Amino acid sequence: MLIRKNDIILVISGLSGIIVGMTWPTLTGGIAPYIAYMMMSLLFLSFLSITTNQIWVALGNSPFRLFVLLFAKLIFMPVFAYSISARLTPDYR
């Protein structure tokens, strides 16, 4: 399987948080000082069970799969979130 269940949960929670924050900024403004800490926690939890040996084994087994996951998390998700928020709240930019 290309994307695990935990990856899907992480993507959905990240994108929904971005969309809610962009749509209702006054409602979510109270948690603004804590957003960086929440993002660090999500990042920590998403990489918690990865060891260096597992990365080298995965690179040897399926480098294309790793490239697709890296592309999705580092390029596709931010561009997708920006395009959705730009369409939903064009005056916010």
In a domain, 35, yes or no: yes
In a domain, 31, yes or no: yes
Greater confidence (71 vs 90) lies with: 71
Q: Tell me: pLDDT of 6 over 80.
A: no
Q: Give the pLDDT mean for 30-43.
A: 81
Give this prediction's pTM: 0.40
pLDDT (0 to 100) of residue 51: 74
Reported in sequence order, the residue ranges of the chain that DSSP labels E, i.e. its strands, are: none
Q: Give the pLDDT mean for 22-40.
A: 83
Greater confidence (74 vs 58) lies with: 74
Can you give the residue range of the structural domain that contains 25?
Answer: 5-88
Among 44, 38, 45, 36, smallest CA distance to 6 is for 45
Q: Which two tokens stand for residue 43?
A: 């990042």
Q: Total domain count for the chain?
A: 1
Q: How far apart are the first and last CA of the chain?
A: 37
pLDDT band at 1 (very low <50, low <70, confident <90, very high): low
Q: How far apart are CA 18 and CA 10, in angstroms?
A: 12
Residue 69, phi then psi, degrees to nearest 5: -65, -45
In a domain, 69, yes or no: yes
In a domain, 93, yes or no: no
